[in-house]
Structure formats: structure tokens, C-alpha cells
Structure 1
Amino acid sequence: MPLNERDRIEILMMIGVGDRMRTQQEVCRLFHEMHPDREPVSQSTVSRIERKYRELGHVRDAPRQGRPKINENVQQDVILSALENPHCTVRQVSRDLNIGKSSVSNIFKKVKYHPYRVRLIHELAEDDFDRRTEFCEYMMDHNNQNNGFIANILFSDEATFFLNGHVNRQNTRYWSQENPHWMQIHTQHPQKVNVWAVLPNDLSDSLYHVKIPAQRPAVQII
């Protein structure tokens, strides 16, 4: 929920004056302790409120007339939001800073921040390497004995659909200028549906069933 004028005044009081001023991190922690049922405020929000009070003498919302001008201070607030929470969304930053989503996207693009998306990869166990070597030797041996062996293989693939929407790659992002190589373990869930499909070379030919070693999946950002 966006901060109202009363919340902003409360944050100013938490900042303090003179020798009793708190840091932005301390203000964020104190505000969260006093309002545990609300969404925590970020350091960029505290900085914006303090700067607005010093420049204008108040923390009221200014009447909006047309498209607001994006200055360097707003750009710094957007970048600071991504640094504090790399998983933030454009919609969330737009709501917190009270600027348009297109402006947030343009700022991210200007500073070369890219929303890295998750990619599902396979986690290899200790014995998987030996099993892969055995599989390659098996394939090479049968291909040497039968020249048409490769053409008669039944290639297959499958997709898993989680009933609880687990690991939604479309909604998972990591804003950064460089690849963070962020990894998260993705375990199997009992409530899921597997869709399996095959693509044979020729249904009239004899088909071989080749079983690929089972592997445990993980999640990684690329």
C-alpha cells in the first residue's frame, strides 16, 4: 500500500534531527517494527521523503500535470530499488516511486540493467557422469553393428506442469548489469502432470527404446 502523508511525517520523525539522526537502514527497520502488518519501506523511499522535505518543506503529493519529468534523483531511486531488491518488478518500483512503468523500464534500459530469467537445468549426481559414458559407449557399439540403428531410435521428450504453479519463469526476474548466475534448488512436487511426446523416424521400421538416465532438476539464472 502506498505511503500517505501521515506515514511520511512519521518517517521524518524517525529520521530525527541534529545529533540524534538515524540512518536510512535504521528508519526502515524501525518503521517495520512499528507496522509489522504492512509492506516494509525501502531505503530509497526514506531518502526520497527526506529530500522532498528539505527541498519543498512538505511531503504532500504534488498535483500531477501531464507526464512527470524524470530527473537524476528519480533515476538514482530506481537504481537503488533494484540494488536493494534485485527481484523487484517494474510494477512494484513504479508504485513505490509513483512514476510510470514505462519510465522505470526506460531507466533500467538506460543503465543497461537486464531482467535475467530463470532457466531449468538438470542437477547431476555423482554417478551420472559414469552412466553417461556407459550410454555413449552403448550407442557407439550398436551403431557400429547396425548402420541403421540411429535412424530407428524413438526420440521422446516430456514437460511437467505443476498444479500449484511452482517455478513460474515468466514472473521470476533478477535485475543486474551482469549475469548473477543465481541458483535455486527445484525439487519434485507430487502434485504435477507429465506430458510425454514421441517423434519416430518411420513408424513402419522397428523401433528401439533408449532410456536416458534420470536426473534431478535445478534452477539457474542465465
Structure 2
Amino acid sequence: MSYLTESLKIEILMMIGYGDRARTQCEVVRLFRETHPDLPPLNQGTISKIEAQYREMGHVRKVPSKRQAVVDDDTKLNLLLALEENPITPVRQLARDNNLNHKTVLKILKYEKKRPYKMQAVQELLEDDPDRRVEFCDLLMTCIDQNQLSLEWTVFSDEATFTLNGHVNTFKS
């Protein structure tokens, strides 16, 4: 279909006709072959696409395909510098700040071999934590040995939610 110019497409539409004088696609294929024997033959699918394009868009000009976004080097540099200054900036925020689509930002980061991730706050272990844990286990074992504590009555819960701003929400029952 690439050899069909705009004027040939208009001619095909005129061959199709309108209203009660419309031709079938087979008739249009035959008529086109007779009119233009030097051109490659049409098939019914091509005629159907031309007709559908005209009905949908109102013209038969070639529709430009979607191209990949072109980002200049300055924008890439600004994006990477902003990420270097604040590595926890979300990708969508970077996209808004640089007037880009967030998928374009993801492609740039992938090309630069950088991976976005969501920051997760975790509880820091201090120096005396292992000693306190061992001390707690010894105390627990002593209570169990002396029948002062039954494991059936003990509930262990280590559930907690850590947020990006550093707030820790523990669920105690």
C-alpha cells in the first residue's frame, strides 16, 4: 500500500462510489487493474483499509506513526543531576519536574543503568542488641524451666509498618 499516493487513494474512493451506486470490493479491484495495469494489483484488504480510514478520519493522507520521544542531552543531564541530588525522588516527580512522560524517564534511567526503587525504612540494630536478645532468651528459658510461664499463653508479634518519613507503626494486641 506504500506505492499508493493520496490521489490514487481518492481515485479508489471514487471507484467505490456512494449510496445506491456503490461497487463491491471485487469490482473495485478489477476496475483498478483495468485503469492502472502498470501498478501492482490491489487486494480487498487494502481497499477496506482506505475506506475505513476515510470514514474514520475524513481524509486519506498518510497518518504519521507514533515516534519515540526525543529528549535532548540537557534534559537528560538535568534529570540525572536531580536524581543525584535527591536519590529518593519518585520517578513521576522527576517526570513532572522535567515535563516528560514517566515512561520516558524510566527508559532514560534504564539506558543509564540506574534502577528506581522505593525506599524502605528498617529498624537499625544497635551494638548492645545481641546481648539484650540473649539475656531475654535466658530469662524466658528460666521462667519456662520453673513453670512460671507457659508458651501457650505467650503471643509473639513482630508486625510493624515502616513509612518513608521514618514513622514506625507497631501493632500490639
Judge same fold: TM > 0.5, yes or no. Answer: no
Q: What TM-score do you get using the length of structure 2 for normalisation?
A: 0.42
Q: What TM-score do you get using the length of structure 1 for normalisation?
A: 0.35
* RCO higher in structure (CA 8 A, sep ≥6): 1
Structure with more of its chain in helix, by fraction: 2
Structure with more of its chain in strand, by fraction: 1
Q: Which of structures 1 and 2 has the bigger CA Rg? A: 2
